[in-house]
C-alpha cells in the first residue's frame, strides 16, 4: 500500500496530481487503510486524516471499526498487566499518589541501578520550573542522579538542596555527590550543606545549626516542594556500612530498641516510628517530621533485603511516590 501526501478535500478530483495515490491491493477499504497506517506505519491520527482526505474524528471512528471487525486485535502483555495490578495494590494499601515498578530481570543486574533509572524518569516527568528539590543519598539515589535526563525544554530557576550533612568516611554514595549530580543534570543551582552529618555532641549540634549559614540551609531544605530519597536496611552489606556511616556496634543499641531501617539518616521501627539515640542527637539535617511535610516525596528503593525497611518507610507515611521492583512489591503486599 502506498500513499503520498498532497492537496486534500472535496475539491480534489480523482486523478488530480494533488490527490492521494491509490491504495493498491486493498480495494481501498478505509478501515483497513486507517488501521495499517496507524498500527503498522506508526502515523498519527492527524497524519492519517490528511492522507485519506477525512477529518481526524473520522479516523478515530475508522480505528474503532477496525477493532470491532477484528481487523486489529489488541493483546495486553500479561507481565505488564500484573505490574499494573501490583502497583495499584501498593498505592491503595499505603495511600500513594503514584507507584512505578521495575520488572524482574532474573538477577542479571543490581536492582539499585534499574530502580534508579526508573526513578530518574519519574522525577524528570514531575519536575517543573521553579521547583526546589531536596536530595538524600545512597546507592539508588546515586544511580538516579546519574540517569536523570537533561530536561527538554530546559527548566528554569530550579534549586537542588542537600537535606543531610556530608559523609566524611567514604564518598561512594555521599549526599554531596548525589546532590551535585542532580543539579548538574538539571543545570540547576546546587546547595550543599557544609557540615558533617554527625558532630561530636548535642551541644556542638545546637551551636552549629544556630549559625546563620547552616540555619539558612536547613530552612531552605524544609521549604522544598519535592524530595528524592532512599531507604537503608540494617543488614551487614547495606549502604550504611559500605559508606562508613555506621559500624555494626554503633547500630546495635538502635536494633535492640526495634530499629529496622534508616530514612534520611534517621532510624525507624517497623511502623515507621522514629527510634532516637545518641547519633540522632548529633545529626545535622532535616528531621523525619520535616521530611514528611514536603509535598512530593519520591522514594527509590528495592531488592530482597529492603522489604521490611520499605514497609517501615511506607507505613510511616514518608512516601507519596514509590519506585521499586516487582519482586519487592509482591512481598510488600504479602505482608500482614
**CATH code of the domain covering residue 49:** 1.10.10.10
Boundary of a domain, candidates 54, 74, 94 = 74
Average pLDDT per block of 10 residues along the chain, 336 residues long: 31 39 53 88 90 91 90 68 83 94 79 93 95 95 94 93 82 84 96 93 95 97 98 76 75 92 94 91 95 98 92 96 94 83
132 contacts: CB under 8 Å, gap ≥ 6: 158, 159, 161, 220, 223, 224, 225, 226
Buried b (16+ CB within 10 A) or exposed e, 78-106: eeeeebeebbeebeeebebeebbbbebee
C-alpha distances (whole Å) from 333 to each of 226, 307, 327, 330 are 26, 10, 10, 5
Per-residue pLDDT at 238: 64
Domain count, the chain: 2
Q: What is the CATH number of the domain that holds 323?
A: 3.40.50.1360
Q: Please report how the helices 139-147 and 111-126 are oriented relative to each other, as an axis angle in degrees rounded to 10.
A: 50
Dmax (CA) of the chain: 90
| DSSP labels, 184-222 | HHHT-EEE---SBSB-S-HHHHHHHHHSHHHHHHHHHHH
70 and 85 assigned to the same domain: no
CA atoms within 13 A on the CB side of 182: 37
The three cell numbers of residue 325 are 521492583
238 and 164 assigned to the same domain: yes
The three cell numbers of residue 189 are 543551582
Boundary of a domain, candidates 44, 74, 104 = 74
29 and 101 assigned to the same domain: no
Per-residue pLDDT at 82: 67
59 and 82 assigned to the same domain: no
Instruction: Answer yes or no: pTM beyond 0.75.
Output: yes
Supply the range of the domain harboring residue 163. Answer: 78-334
Boundary of a domain, candidates 15, 43, 74 = 74
107 and 89 assigned to the same domain: yes
Amino acid at each position: 500500500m502506498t500513499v503520498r501526501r498532497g492537496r486534500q478535500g472535496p475539491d480534489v478530483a480523482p486523478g488530480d496530481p494533488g490527490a492521494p495515490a491509490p491504495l493498491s491491493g486493498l480495494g481501498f477499504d478505509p478501515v483497513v487503510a486507517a488501521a495499517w497506517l496507524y498500527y503498522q506505519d506508526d502515523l498519527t491520527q492527524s497524519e492519517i486524516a490528511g492522507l485519506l482526505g477525512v477529518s481526524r474524528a473520522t479516523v478515530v471512528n475508522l480505528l474503532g471499526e477496525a477493532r470491532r471487525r477484528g481487523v486489529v486485535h489488541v493483546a495486553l502483555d500479561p507481565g505488564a498487566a500484573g505490574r499494573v495490578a501490583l502497583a495499584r495494590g501498593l498505592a491503595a494499601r499505603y495511600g500513594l499518589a503514584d507507584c512505578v515498578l521495575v520488572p524482574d530481570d532474573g538477577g542479571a543486574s543490581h536492582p539499585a541501578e534499574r530502580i534508579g533509572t526508573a526513578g530518574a524518569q519519574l522525577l524528570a516527568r514531575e519536575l517543573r520550573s521553579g521547583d526546589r528539590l531536596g536530595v538524600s543519598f545512597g546507592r539508588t539515589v546515586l544511580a538516579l542522579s546519574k540517569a536523570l535526563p537533561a530536561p527538554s525544554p530546559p527548566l528554569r530557576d530550579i534549586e537542588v538542596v542537600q537535606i543531610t550533612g556530608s559523609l566524611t568516611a567514604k564518598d561512594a554514595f555521599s549526599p554531596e555527590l548525589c546532590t551535585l549530580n542532580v543539579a548538574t543534570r538539571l543545570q540547576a543551582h546546587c546547595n550543599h550543606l557544609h557540615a558533617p552529618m554527625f558532630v561530636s555532641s548535642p551541644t556542638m549540634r545546637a551551636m552549629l545549626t544556630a549559625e546563620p549559614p547552616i540555619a539558612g540551609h536547613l530552612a531552605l531544605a524544609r521549604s522544598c516542594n519535592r524530595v528524592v530519597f532512599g531507604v537503608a536496611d540494617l543488614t551487614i552489606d547495606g549502604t550504611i556500612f559500605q559508606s562508613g556511616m555506621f559500624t555494626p556496634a554503633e547500630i546495635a543499641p538502635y536494633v535492640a530498641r526495634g530499629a529496622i531501617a534508616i530514612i534520611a539518616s534517621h532510624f525507624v521501627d517497623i511502623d515507621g516510628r522514629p527510634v532516637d539515640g545518641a547519633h540522632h542527637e548529633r545529626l545535622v539535617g532535616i528531621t523525619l517530621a520535616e521530611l514528611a511535610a514536603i509535598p512530593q516525596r519520591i522514594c527509590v528503593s528495592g531488592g530482597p533485603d529492603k522489604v521490611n525497611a520499605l514497609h517501615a518507610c511506607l507505613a510511616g507515611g514518608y512516601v507519596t511516590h514509590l519506585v521499586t521492583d516487582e519482586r519487592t512489591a509482591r512481598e510488600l503486599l504479602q505482608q500482614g
